[in-house]
A and B are shown apart, each in its own frame.
Chain A
Amino acid sequence: MNAEHPPVRLTTVSKNYGDKIALRDVSLDIGPGGVTALLGPNGAGKTTMVKLMLGLAAPTSGTVTLFGNDPRHTASRSRIGAMLQVGKVPETLRVREHIDQFRSYYPSPMTANDVFAAAGLQGLEGVKFGDLSGGQRQRVLFALAICGNPQILFLDEPTLGFDVEARRSFWEQIREFVARGRTVLLTTHYLEEADALANRIVVIDHGSIIADGTPTEIKQHVSGRKIRCTTTLSETDLRAIPGVTTVSFDRGNAELVVTNAESVTRELLWNDATLSNLEVSGIQLEEAFLALTHAREAA
């Protein structure tokens, strides 16, 4: 294996759409192996990054390579699979026909039956795309992405609109794929998804990488704890307490991410005698992520 050519490499990549900056000076190597999650709010630049990696868009400056080559080369594209956000897929073709068509593009595709099994499409082979449910449609797009037997799989918001059960079974399919030694890169704004699947999380906001590490490391980026309570204090009052990093409200409960739980708790109880339902807990990926992106907005 040639260590100089990782499956995906971005070198000082910037991308502008007109005068709008989508990515600024991003450098990133991905794989081989494992699941990397690009995590960030909508409009952070995740999809732009995937488009650059797939050769569907060119960087304004910097270089993007797949296995050391131009992503647009047929040889590069034969080794990858991509599940993108699609508005409309031809609805009159049957599942079997869609798979057959995409298998014809690749030099050594999976057998159709292996594709149906890996994507959980057994029993749906003869159904027209237009007659499938939303989750089944996503599974067909996943099947199209894996049918060429790719070494890297790109998944752009793969579980958008899934219910909990569908999301979990989809995660299982991705884990099986990775277990065979393949590389997966997925974008998501579901923190739970990144935490459950990824062994590496790259946090993107406003076109820049603001954190990169294992889920545990990302959580450590924000030292501190979370306080939940029911309080009559206003958001402004809460923000004024020293040690409070972020404030949010969830069904009447205040949620604070704090650097020093003890002093903040003392201050809270002193300021609001009616305070109830006090809970202090460790930080979750979600809070770490919010703190990371908010810190940048404040800067």
Chain B
Amino acid sequence: MTAASTIVAPGNDVVAAPAVSSPFRVYRTEAKYELIKQLRIPAFMLPTIGFPIMFYVLFGLVMQYGPRGSNTAATYLLATYGAFGVIGIALFALGVGVAVERGQGWLAVKKASPMPLSAYFAAKYLTTLAIGLILMLLMCAIGALFGHVRMSAGHWIALITVETLGAVPFCAMGLAIGYLAGPNSAAAVVNILYLPMAFLSGLFIPAEMLPRFLQRFAVALPPYHLGRLALDAVGLEPASHALGHIAALIGFGVLFTIIALIAYRRDEGKTYG
């Protein structure tokens, strides 16, 4: 028992204890258990980690579908399927995950505790980045071992960094969808958006191979910019516009964060305010 067990009469007498728990400890514990929780869900790990790897192996390594060249396809699709993978983790693990925890009442239990809400969301973001990093390390290992992908150390590091950090705006997108669509339809909305958006953004086949009117549409899609940035990181972006893509991703990130905040406020307003 700790100091608080000295409270005999439970009234208004405040115990000489800090009003809040150590913030650092809360954030660390929250992030640790969020990651453990996600990694132990097979139904989550299989599609979010398994599908991008399976697609990459099938289309990038077995079929060599993509631009001609010895290992260009394997390198090109490593960048684009990597983007496809981390985006999926952000939308499903974070977006749908938060929507479900909110809908099932679990978030209410946490909100009734003194846990800072920022710790909850920070843990979700960090977990998404960590799983994205795990996916990228796996895909890079497969690409190097079986796809004969050969790059300088700088390219490898650039690719993994871009894909891992590039998940951040998609975390915000997931949150926005989760709060707008509501707990029951969030998964359906993400499913409807995810694949067409990835296809139109040139993550499955190069955007240049799409009809011209679709190519123009691609610029308006956030995954297009992550895909291009990843290609730039491996030196395959024909016209390097790295700064433009970074600006676009930051812009989308800010936009989705604002939408998520508005949707969050609106959701609180139904119960609070």
Contact = CB atoms under 8 A, between A and B. Distances in A.
B29 A104 contact: yes
Interface in A159-218: 181-183
Contacts of A41: none
Contact of A92 (B7, B40, B108): B40
Given A57-B272, A85-B105, A74 B13 contact: no
A107 B2 CA distance: 10
A111 B116 contact: no
A107 B37 contact: no
Contacts of B114: 74, 77-78, 105-107, 148
A169 B17 CA distance: 33
Contacts of A114: 1
Nearest to A114: B1
A299 interface: no
A141 B109 contact: yes
A93 B37 contact: yes
A284 B200 CA distance: 69
A58 B104 CA distance: 20
Contacts of A40: none
Interface string A89-125: 1101100010011101111111100100000000000
Interface string B1-37: 1111101111111010111110001100110010011
Interface in A55-93: 55-58, 67-68, 74-75, 77-78, 80-82, 84-90, 92-93
Nearest to B269: A58
Given A74-B116, A92-B40, A114-B1, A97 B33 contact: yes
B11 A2 contact: yes
Contact of B10 (A58, A104, A182): A182
A76 to B, nearest CB: 8
Contact of B7 (A51, A148, A181): A181
Contacts of A86: 104-106, 108-109
A108 B15 contact: yes
B152 interface: no
Counting chain A residues whose Cβ lies within 8 A of the other chain, the interface size class is: 35 or more
A7 B104 CA distance: 28
B200 to A, nearest CB: 34
Nearest to A93: B37
Given A74-B19, A74-B114, A74-B116, A110 B109 contact: no
Given A78-B19, A86-B105, A87-B103, A2 B113 contact: no
B111 interface: yes
Contacts of A80: 112
B113 A148 contact: yes
Contacts of B33: 93, 97, 100-101
A138 to B, nearest CB: 13
B75 to A, nearest CB: 36
Given A97-B33, A141-B109, A67 B12 contact: yes
Contact of B5 (A56, A128, A148, A149): A149
B37 A92 contact: yes
A89 B105 CA distance: 8
A54 interface: yes
Given A108-B15, A148-B114, A82 B29 contact: no
B238 interface: no
A131 B11 CA distance: 39
A110 B1 contact: yes
Contact of B112 (A5, A7, A84, A151): A84
A33 interface: yes
A108 B103 contact: no
A7 to B, nearest CB: 7
A111 B2 contact: yes
B273 interface: yes
Contacts of B21: 78, 104-107, 109
B10 A107 contact: no
19 contacts: A2-B12, A5-B12, A56-B111, A56-B272, A67-B12, A82-B113, A84-B105, A87-B104, A88-B100, A89-B109, A90-B37, A93-B36, A97-B36, A100-B29, A104-B25, A108-B4, A108-B15, A111-B1, A148-B114
Given A88-B104, A107-B18, 17 more contacts: A1-B9, A1-B11, A32-B9, A33-B9, A54-B112, A56-B271, A57-B271, A58-B271, A78-B114, A86-B109, A92-B36, A93-B33, A104-B26, A105-B26, A107-B20, A149-B4, A181-B7
Give me the 8 closest cross-chain CB pairs, A-B, nearest first: A92-B40, A87-B104, A1-B11, A151-B10, A88-B104, A108-B4, A104-B29, A82-B112
Interface of B: 1-5, 7-13, 15, 17-21, 25-26, 29-30, 33, 36-37, 40-41, 100-101, 103-106, 108-109, 111-116, 270-273
Interface of A: 1-2, 5, 7, 17, 31-33, 51, 54-58, 67-68, 74-75, 77-78, 80-82, 84-90, 92-93, 97, 100-102, 104-111, 114, 128, 141, 144, 148-149, 151-152, 154, 181-183
